[in-house]
Structure 1
């Protein structure tokens, strides 16, 4: 779906509060409750919210949002994060990029960085970097997840273990309040863990909207990473955690 500005605002309110109420939204936006119900129905049909009595809430933390919706969600923030992350990757670097719409934004921003080696289990990343004139792009192989172009399974893990790269750049579906990086697919998480184990440095690329989501499978902790590139200042508890663990935080500038 293509969200209207009001639907985007409704989704932002749901991320902040966890749930929204039809009557409150109607008063907030100065529209009828019927209009709000239509908005909520469309957002729920897209998997972005789940209906409740009298309103809606963030969906269950056991099923991911469809790829096309994830790609559109926070698209400007992801592009800004991608540019900020790419600016931290020097020419001649070797790196992993895993599955995710934010790592795809990093790939787009790397198109002018020369002499890269990129190992990825993301077909979309490979296609984005295909026209890069001086990048060597290596696909892991593995079981294709047609929904989003991800490659998972033992073959992906074994390919990754053949490399030792300068930097792992990973995304995650959710970020818990205690600093844990979370995802939905155990096979995908196995690949992400292998990526982290085979890199000299690790960078998370994740917008603040990930703090409003839940997912059931743990990848790692912010404590295990060297840097987190995000779009706004994190909550105080996560800033403290990162400071204690010496995990640097880079806040991406506003979209250009």
Structure 2
């Protein structure tokens, strides 16, 4: 009689090929905590992780490399970012994301804007928060390509609010297109307050929509002083359209210290850094 013997190993997690579910099982407690930290904050640097976990930078780099290889995060030099950071988050999510940090940024910007000045304010949830923070000012003249910004600031009787012409983007009330660019280029204002979707390590400002970028570039050109407003989730965030190098702005207002490479780029270009 021929006896067939099965050589299949007993079932265990160690012998199961890795998949999206088993990737999470393979993570240790610290790595799970890193993923959660990145998910809530948008991005982190090695330095920030060192302050959070009592381990060496080398260990943290290995953790990040493993998490990137198993598609839990996106790795960049000096840190990591959320997988969702390579796409434009829906407006309703962005509206509430890191609201406390955006409010601190808005207050810091408002403190630098004098009464009776003129300013551009472009599209973005941080910019909308800045608009709300400026409501205690007097006699501002505002040009905006954001219906949300216009709605907020038009409630002040001594403000003069001019809305740019162009195509209204349904998802966030942004106004874009060639007509918007032509409209912006008719003016020369004291300040330009601009938001951004991502800032690369070398300081390149990045966004997702080419038409929105064209309008923002016009605002940079027509502003005597440019304030960039961006919370820490924008550091290292991927977006494929280049807006301008960091040298195109006069100051960056953010809520946490930028990664070392970006901090070095700011210093090299003598860009003011305000951490709210």
Q: Same fold (TM over 0.5)?
A: yes
| 2:255 paired residue among 223, 226, 231 | 231
- Cα root mean square deviation, aligned: 2.4
Residue 241 of structure 1: how far off its partner (Å): 1.8
CA distance in 2, matches of 1:223, 1:54: 34
* CA shift for structure 1 position 237: 2.3
TM-score with structure 1 setting the length: 0.78
Matched residue SS, 1:214: coil
Normalised TM-score (structure 2): 0.72
User: Structure 2 unaligned runs (5+)?
Assistant: 1-34, 47-52, 54-68, 75-81
Tell me, in whole angstroms, the C-alpha distance in 2 between the residues paired with 1:98 and 1:199: 12
- The superposition leaves residues 116-172 of structure 1 with CA deviations (integer Å, 9 ceiling, x where unpaired) of 011000000001112112110000011110100000001111110110000100000
Alpha carbons of structure 1 residues 162 and 71: separation in structure 2 relative to 1, 3 Å: same
Q: Equivalent residues in 2 for 1:163-174 (5 A)?
A: 163-174=187-198
- State which of 117, 130, 138 in structure 2 corresponds to 1:114: 138
**What are the superposed Cα offsets for residues 194-236 of structure 1, whole Å, 9 maximum, x if unpaired?**
0000011111000111014210001112112110011112222
Q: Any gaps of 5 or more consecutive residues in structure 1?
A: 1-6, 19-27, 29-51
Tell me what 1:11 maps to: 39
Instruction: Give the structure with higher Rg (CA).
Output: 2
Alignment check: 8 A CA contact 1:62 1:184 kept: no
SS of aligned partner of 1:84: helix
Separation in 1 of the partners of 2:91 and 2:264?
32
Of 86, 93, 96, which aligns to 2:110? 86
How many Å apart are 1:61 and its aligned residue? 6.0
- What are the equivalent positions in structure 2 for 1:63-212 lying under 5 Å apart? 63-212=87-236
Aligned counterparts of 1:154 and 1:110: Cα–Cα separation in 2: 29
